[in-house]
Amino acid sequence: MTIVEHKWSALPVPYAIEVPDRVRKERYYDPDFYALEAELLWPRVWQMACRLEEIPKAGDFAEYQILDQSVVVLRTEDRGVLAFQNTCRHRGVRLVEGRGTRRGGFVCPFHGWCYGTDGRNTRVTQAGAFSEHNLQPGDVDLTPVRCETWGGCAWINLDDAAPPLRECLEPVATVLDAWKVESLRAEWWYACRLPVNWKLAQEAFVEQYHVLQSHPQLRIPGRYPGRDPADFDPRAFLDAELHYLRTMSEGMGGMVHRTDVAIAEGLAEIELPADYARARAMWDRTLNDAVSRAHAERGCAVPDLNELDELGLNQPMAYGFPHFFVLPMYSSASGYRFRPLGPEETLMEIWSLTRFPEGDEPETPPVPEAWEHDDPRWPPIPAQDFSNLPRQQLGLHARSFEYMRLSERNEGHISNFHRLVDGFLAGLSYEKLLPALRQVNVNPLEMPVADMEF
């Protein structure tokens, strides 16, 4: 594509967002738009490549694939976590697949070239048969890839000029640090193959506007004040709250962790005030306090949830552009990651993350096989979201449909996200992109349309 030649200047973006609350449909299936993302977005962003419990010991590696690129993320004895392009420098064979351990480094399965855990070439078999210029020191070493660790994960970036990870992840990194996200461990890990664009897949999870219609079981009478304050029944409110927590726990496959549900059930006898606002405040405070205390007593690293509430740092969702987010609920969380497999196909992964006393952590879950979106094993809440998505991808193709009509107040994150994508596709400098990243790497659930400053 000729457009690649102008890569770092401001480029015209096809199907760009012109009116902030309208998103053109072609962005979700046009092959040229997808190709632009592959060229100008994915190689310039920090990507969550693996969870650190996947590579607990020196020599452990995990392969991360994005589009046609494969990166090997490796824990070393003395240099922390490193990453390399997963390609032998001789004739290009991928060195590893999946996950495993190579304490002594890598041996290419084709002709046996060897590389140390620092990526340095340690052996060229029959080296005398090569001319000098094909054996230049450095040139035959594995190509390093930027890698940083944060939040219990290893992150990679294919662009050496990108700002450091932390700068790109603020302000959400500060929020999640306060919540001690790095202490979470994966209890399970599932993957889903969705017949939709990777942006569409995420957008089903970043607003609450859909909840009442798509997840009717979360419409629980008694959780909210009625028209007449005299009708408020604190007993019914408490029952409704417990019902909500159980429904979320079962429905999301543990996003509200069962230990937290049990803690809440242990508070079922408390007397709440007869006024909604005071009852809500007392219940939230009591439950936060009980959760923090119970996990601390078990020996887990856990934040003081009430302290976080006071600081505005107890947030239900933390988004990391372009394809990762965490949904913290009390002690635990769900983690999500989305990777494009084609213009209209996405690999979506969900982790259930919770806290364990040190030394009591579970086995790391295996890399999941991808289930279909309608697999009966999906818990009810993601199953409901998955059932809408293929219909939406198909519906976008309707001749009469031009663009999505976003709610400026409820779906602002979707607009902000797309305009940031456009910033990358226009080849803007990091100086311009960083302020926009800060508008997107937030709790997206209540984000209005924001000024992206470019």
Residues making contact with ligand FES (CB under 6 A): 88, 90-91, 93, 108, 110-113
Whether residue 322 is preceded by a cis peptide bond, meaning omega within 30 degrees of 0, is yes
DSSP letter for each residue of 201-263:
HHHTSS-STTHHHH-GGG--TTSS--SSGGG--HHHHHHHHHHHHHHHHHHTTSSS-HHHHHH
Which residue, 91 or 278, has its beta carbon nearer to ligand FES?
A: 91
Residue 113 contacts which entry, Fe ion, ligand FES, none (Cβ below 5-8 A, type-dependent): ligand FES
Residue 111 contacts which entry, Fe ion, ligand FES, none (Cβ below 5-8 A, type-dependent): ligand FES
Residue 299 contacts which entry, ligand FES, Fe ion, none (Cβ below 5-8 A, type-dependent): none
Least separation, in Å, of the C-beta of 86 and ligand FES? 12
Residue 110 contacts which entry, ligand FES, Fe ion, none (Cβ below 5-8 A, type-dependent): ligand FES
* Options 34-42, 279-287, 382-390, 432-440: segment touching Fe ion (CB under 5 A): 382-390
Instruction: Indicate which single residue of 63, 207, 385, 422 sits in contact with Fe ion (rule: CB under 5 A).
Output: 385
CA dihedral 215, 217, 222, 225 (to 10 degrees): 10
Tokens of 22: 């309208």
Least separation, in Å, of the C-beta of 76 and ligand FES? 21
Burial of 383-397, coded b for 16+ CB within 10 Å and e otherwise, reads: bbbbebbbebbeebe
Least separation, in Å, of the C-beta of 203 and Fe ion? 11
Q: How far apart are CA 72 and CA 154, in angstroms?
A: 11
Nearest by Cα to 361 from 301, 414, 310: 301
- Are 438 and 53 in contact by the 8 Å Cβ rule? The answer is no
Least separation, in Å, of the C-beta of 211 and Fe ion? 6
- Are 199 and 414 in contact by the 8 Å Cβ rule? The answer is no
Least separation, in Å, of the C-beta of 215 and Fe ion? 6
Which residue, 116 or 195, has its beta carbon nearer to Fe ion?
A: 195
Q: Is 411 in the site for Fe ion (CB under 5 A)?
A: no
* Options 7-15, 68-76, 379-387, 393-401: segment touching Fe ion (CB under 5 A): 379-387
Residue 397 contacts which entry, Fe ion, ligand FES, none (Cβ below 5-8 A, type-dependent): none
Q: How far apart are CA 189 and CA 61, in angstroms?
A: 18
DSSP letter for each residue of 318-386:
EEETTTEEEEEETTEEEEEEEEEEETTEEEEEEEEEE---TT-PPPPPPPPPEEETT-TTS-HHHHHHH
Residue 108 contacts which entry, ligand FES, Fe ion, none (Cβ below 5-8 A, type-dependent): ligand FES
Nearest by Cα to 223 from 293, 166, 291, 272: 272
Which residue, 290 or 317, has its beta carbon nearer to Fe ion?
A: 317
* Options 83-91, 306-314, 324-332, 385-393: segment touching Fe ion (CB under 5 A): 385-393
Least separation, in Å, of the C-beta of 125 and ligand FES? 7
Least separation, in Å, of the C-beta of 130 and ligand FES? 11
Which residue, 108 or 326, has its beta carbon nearer to ligand FES?
A: 108
Least separation, in Å, of the C-beta of 316 and ligand FES? 48
Q: How far apart are CA 397 and CA 327, in angstroms?
A: 31
Lay out the site mask for Fe ion across 254-273 (x = CB under 5 A, - = otherwise).
--------------------
- Are 286 and 273 in contact by the 8 Å Cβ rule? The answer is no
* Options 30-38, 161-169, 309-317, 377-385: segment touching Fe ion (CB under 5 A): 377-385
Q: What is the largest CA-CA distance in the chain?
A: 91
Write the CB contacts of 238 (distance below 8 Å, at least 6 apart in sequence). 268, 270, 272, 283
Residue 385 contacts which entry, Fe ion, ligand FES, none (Cβ below 5-8 A, type-dependent): Fe ion
* Options 191-199, 292-300, 383-391, 402-410: segment touching Fe ion (CB under 5 A): 383-391
141 DSSP 8-state letter: S
Length of the chain: 454
Residue 90 contacts which entry, ligand FES, Fe ion, none (Cβ below 5-8 A, type-dependent): ligand FES
Least separation, in Å, of the C-beta of 445 and Fe ion? 11
Which residue, 123 or 397, has its beta carbon nearer to ligand FES?
A: 123
Least separation, in Å, of the C-beta of 133 and ligand FES? 17
Amino acid (one-letter) located at 21: D
Least separation, in Å, of the C-beta of 112 and ligand FES? 6
Q: How far apart are CA 168 and CA 149, in angstroms?
A: 13
Phi, psi dihedral angles at 148 (to 5 degrees)? -135, 155
Question: Do strands 370-372 and 185-194 pair parallel, antiparallel, or not at all (unpaired)?
Answer: parallel
Which residue, 111 or 278, has its beta carbon nearer to ligand FES?
A: 111
Q: What residues are paired with 328 via a beta bridge?
A: 333
Point out which residues bind Fe ion (CB under 5 A): 385
